[in-house]
C-alpha cells in the first residue's frame, strides 16, 4: 500500500494514511466526530476523558490493519492473493474501520436511544433495531461520496466506484469477498470479542480517563496470533495472557469508568435533556437521523447551544435547561447507593424482585410515586437503569461468541475453560449486566444509614403502588 501522510496519535504513535483515507478524513462527516465525545459525560468524573469518536476511528483503522495484515501473512500460501488483491483487502478493512462510527450522535452512546426511537417512529426499522450502526451505513452509502472535495479522493472514487458499497457490505457483515473464510475474518475484525474496536477503545478510554486498566491490552500480540477456524477468529494459545487481559480490562473499565455512579447520572441527565427538548419542540425526531446529522451537523456542542439559547418556556424546556445547568455547574444529585452491596443493605432480598420489576417496567411512574412519597418534585428524582448495552459500546459478554484459543495441533477451547481468572470474571459480569441507581438531592438523601433506610422503604412502597 502507498501511504501519503502520517497522523500522530497519543495511543498508537504514528498512524499512516493513504490518499483516499485522507480525503475521507477531511470530509465534514468525519470532522464532525471531533465534536462527539467518545465516552459521553465521563469527563465530569475523569476530567481528561475528552477524547472523541474522531481519534477513536483513526485508532480502530490502525489496529484493524495490523489484524488483517497478520492474517494475510499467515494464510498467504493458502489464499494465494496477488499484491494488488492484498492491498485491496487491506484498504477495504481500513476504510470500514475508519468509517464504522460515522453515524454516532451527540455524546456517543448517550444519544443512541434517541436514534433508535426516531427510526422506530419513522418506521425505518423494526423496533429495537438500528442506532448508530444503521445510520453509519446510510451515510456511507448515500452521502459520503458527495462530501469528498479532495481531487485525489474524487479520482480514486472514479476509478473504484464500488468501494463505498463494499465498505457498507463489510459493516452489514456480508462482504462479497473470496475466499469465504477471508470474508468471515474481515467481519470478525470489525465485530467480535477480539475486534479492533474493543482493542482501541479499552486502551484509549483508559489512557484519557486516567485509570490504567486498558493499558494491558496487547494489540500486537493479538494480531500476531490470529487464526481462522470454521468462520471464527480465534487465537493461538501463545496469546492466552493477551486474551485474559482483554477481558479483565473490559470488566474493570465497565466497573470503574463506564458504570461509575456519577458518570451514569450525567449520561442519564443528558439523555433526558435531549428527550425533553424534542418533546418541547426545540429539537425534532428528524434531527436524530442521518438527514439530521447532515442538515444540523449534530454534535455535542449543537445540543448544548440549542438548549441554552432556546426561548421556549414550556415545562419540558425548563426541565431540560435545569438539567443542563446542573451538568455545566456540576451540581448533581446524589446516589442512594453506589454499588450492589450497598443496595442489598437497603433493599431486603425478598423485596428486590418487586423493585426491579417496577424499575424495568414502570420507571416513569415509579419516579413520580417515589418523589411524592419523599416530598420532592419528579424532576428532582432520577432512577437510572441500563443493561451493558445502554450508554456504552454494545457489550454482550458472556452471551456473545466467546474468545477461543488453540494450541498447535490441538482442539480449540473457550477462554473461560482455559483460564480460571476469566471464568471468575465472567461470573462477576452478571452483577454488571442489569442494574439501577436512584438519585436525589443530597439534602433529601441525608448522611445516616437510618435516613437512607427510610428512603429505601419509601422506594419499596412506591414500587408496590405502581405494581398494584
**pLDDT tens track for 44-75:** 999 999 999 999 999 999 999 999 999 999 99
Res 411: pLDDT: 87
311 in a structural domain: no
Domain end (from 258, 276, 293): 258
CATH of the domain at 236: 1.10.3210.10
Which cell goes with 226? 490470529
| Residue 89 main-chain phi, psi, to 5 deg | -65, -45
The whole-angstrom separation of Cα 185 and Cα 237 is 18
Ranges of H-type helices in 280-394? 290-296, 300-309, 315-328, 340-346, 349-373
Domain assignment of residue 319, yes or no? no
**Domain assignment of residue 454, yes or no:** yes
Of 400 and 26, more confident? 26
Contact 29, 104 (CB under 8 A): no
d(CA 203, CA 369): 42
In a shared domain, residues 354 and 214: no
How far is it, in rounded angstroms, from Cα 218 to Cα 38? 21
Q: Kindly state whether residues 343 and 230 are assigned to the same domain.
A: no
The arithmetic mean of pLDDT across residues 321-331, rounded, is 97
Residue 178's CB is within 10 A of a number of other CB atoms, namely 11
Query: Using one digit for the tens of pLDDT, what is the confidence trace for 345-373?
Result: 999 999 988 998 999 899 999 999 999 99
d(CA 403, CA 430): 18
**pLDDT score of 409:** 78
Q: Residue 301 domain-assigned? A: no
To 5 degrees, how large is the angle CA 352–CA 387–CA 205? 130
Q: What is the mean pLDDT of residues 334-341?
A: 91
In a domain, 101, yes or no: yes
Identify whether residues 347 and 203 lie together within a single domain: no
Nearest Cα to Cα of residue 404 among 205, 239, 277, 178: 239
User: Which secondary-structure segment (H or E) carries 272?
Assistant: helix 261-279
Same domain, 196 and 93: yes
Q: Is residue 420 part of a domain?
A: yes
Pick from 243, 230, 310, 239: nearest CA to 278: 310
CB 307 within 8 A of CB 318: no
CA distance 180 to 182: 5
The helix (H) or strand (E) run that includes residue 382 is: strand 382-387
Alpha-carbon span 358 to 367, nearest angstrom: 10
Residue 80 lies in a domain: yes
pLDDT beyond 80 at 399: no
- Cut 0.75: pTM above it: yes
Predicted confidence at residue 213, as pLDDT, reads: 84
pLDDT of res. 423: 87
Residues 237 and 385 in one domain: no
What total number of domains does the chain contain?
Answer: 2
pLDDT at 339: 85
pLDDT band at 410 (very low <50, low <70, confident <90, very high): confident
Q: How far apart are CA 452 and CA 462, in angstroms?
A: 15
Is the pLDDT at 428 greater than 90? The verdict is: no
- Single out the residue in 232, 258, 284 at which a domain terminates: 258
The pLDDT score that the predictor gives to residue 340 is 83
Count of positions (residues) in the chain = 468
- φ/ψ of residue 363, rounded to 5: -60, -45
Q: Are 206 and 249 in contact (CB under 8 A)?
A: yes
Question: Considering Cα of 196, then 202, then 207, then 208, what sign does the dihedral take?
Answer: positive
What pLDDT is stored for residue 46 in this prediction?
98
Q: How far apart are CA 432 and CA 256, in angstroms?
A: 11
Q: Who contacts 154 (Cβ-Cβ below 8 Å, separation ≥6)?
A: 23, 148
Which segment of 93-102, 129-138, 163-172, 263-272 scores lowest on mean pLDDT?
A: 129-138
Dist CA 26 CA 226 (whole Å)? 32
What span, in angstroms and rounded, lies between the C-alpha atoms of 232 and 247? 18
Co-location of 108 and 254 in the same domain: yes
Q: Does some domain include residue 150?
A: yes
Residues 19 and 105 in one domain: yes
Domain that holds residue 457: 334-468
> Which of 231, 258, 285 is the last residue before a domain boundary?
258
Q: What is the pLDDT of residues 133-144, one digit of tens each?
A: 999 999 999 999
> What is the percent of the chain where pLDDT is above 90?
78
254/339 same-domain check? no
Among the residue ranges 67-71, 79-83, 87-91, 402-406, the one predicted with the least confidence is 402-406
**254 and 361 part of one domain:** no
Amino acid at each position: 500500500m502507498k501511504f501519503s501522510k502520517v497522523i500522530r496519535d497519543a495511543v498508537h504513535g504514528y498512524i499512516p494514511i493513504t490518499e483516499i483515507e485522507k480525503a475521507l478524513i477531511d470530509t465534514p462527516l468525519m470532522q464532525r466526530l471531533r465534536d462527539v465525545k467518545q465516552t459521553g459525560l465521563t469527563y465530569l468524573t475523569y476530567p481528561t476523558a475528552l477524547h472523541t469518536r474522531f481519534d477513536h476511528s483513526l485508532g480502530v483503522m490502525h489496529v484493524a490493519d495490523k489484524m488483517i495484515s497478520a492474517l494475510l501473512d499467515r494464510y498467504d500460501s493458502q489464499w494465494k492473493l496477488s499484491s494488488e488483491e492484498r492491498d485491496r483487502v487491506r484498504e477495504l478493512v481500513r476504510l470500514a474501520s475508519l468509517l464504522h462510527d460515522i453515524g454516532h450522535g451527540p455524546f456517543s452512546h448517550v444519544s443512541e436511544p434517541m436514534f433508535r426511537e426516531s427510526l422506530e417512529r419513522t418506521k425505518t426499522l423494526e423496533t429495537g433495531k438500528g442506532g448508530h450502526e444503521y445510520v453509519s451505513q446510510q451515510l456511507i452509502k448515500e452521502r459520503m461520496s458527495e462530501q469528498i472535495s479532495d481531487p485525489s479522493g474524487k479520482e480514486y472514487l472514479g476509478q473504484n466506484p464500488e468501494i463505498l458499497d463494499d465498505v457498507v457490505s463489510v459493516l452489514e457483515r456480508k462482504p462479497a469477498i473470496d475466499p469465504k473464510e477471508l470474508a468471515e475474518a474481515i467481519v470478525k475484525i470489525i465485530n467480535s470479542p477480539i475486534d479492533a474496536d474493543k482493542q482501541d477503545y479499552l486502551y484509549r478510554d483508559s489512557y484519557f480517563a486516567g485509570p490504567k486498566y486498558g493499558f494491558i491490552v496487547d494489540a500486537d500480540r493479538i494480531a500476531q496470533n490470529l487464526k481462522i477456524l470454521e468462520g471464527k477468529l480465534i487465537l493461538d494459545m501463545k496469546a492466552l495472557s493477551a486474551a485474559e487481559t482483554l477481558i479483565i480490562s473490559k470488566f474493570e473499565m465497565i466497573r470503574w469508568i463506564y458504570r461509575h455512579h456519577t458518570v451514569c447520572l450525567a449520561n442519564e441527565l443528558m439523555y433526558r435533556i435531549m428527550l425533553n427538548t424534542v418533546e418541547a419542540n426545540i429539537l425534532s425526531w428528524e434531527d436524530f437521523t442521518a438527514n439530521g446529522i447532515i442538515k444540523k451537523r449534530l454534535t455535542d456542542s449543537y445540543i448544548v447551544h440549542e438548549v441554552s439559547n432556546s426561548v421556549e418556556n414550556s415545562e419540558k424546556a425548563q426541565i431540560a435547561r435545569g438539567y443542563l445547568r446542573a451538568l455545566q455547574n456540576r451540581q448533581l444529585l446524589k446516589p442512594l447507593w453506589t454499588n450492589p452491596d450497598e443496595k442489598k443493605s437497603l433493599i431486603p432480598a425478598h423485596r428486590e424482585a418487586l423493585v426491579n420489576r417496577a424499575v424495568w417496567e414502570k420507571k416513569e411512574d415509579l419516579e413520580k410515586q417515589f418523589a411524592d412519597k419523599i416530598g420532592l418534585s419528579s424532576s428532582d428524582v432520577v432512577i437510572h437503569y441500563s443493561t451493558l448495552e445502554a450508554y456504552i459500546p454494545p457489550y454482550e459478554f458472556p452471551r456473545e461468541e466467546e474468545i477461543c484459543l488453540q494450541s498447535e495441533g490441538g482442539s480449540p477451547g473457550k477462554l473461560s475453560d482455559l483460564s480460571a481468572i476469566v471464568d471468575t470474571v465472567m461470573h462477576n459480569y452478571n452483577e454488571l449486566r442489569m442494574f439501577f441507581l436512584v438519585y436525589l438531592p443530597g439534602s433529601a438523601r441525608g448522611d445516616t444509614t437510618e435516613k437512607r433506610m427510610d428512603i429505601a422503604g419509601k422506594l419499596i412502597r412506591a414500587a408496590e403502588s405502581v405494581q398494584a
